[in-house]
Structure 1
Amino acid sequence: MTISAKNLLLLDGVGALMTATLLTQVVARYEPLFGMPKATVYVLSVVALGFAAFSLGSYLLAKRGFSRYLGMILFANLAYCVATTVLLVIHREKLTWLGIAYFVGEIILVLVLVYQEYKKVTQGIGGKPFV
Structure 2
Amino acid sequence: MARILAIDYGTKRTGIAVTDELQIIASGLTTVNTKELIDFLKTYTSKESVELFIIGEPKQMNYNASESEVSILKFLKTLETVFPNIPIKRIDERFTSKMAFQTMIDSGLSKKQRQNKALIDEISATIILQSYLYSQS
TM-score by length of 2: 0.28
Bigger share in strand: 2
More helix, by proportion:
1
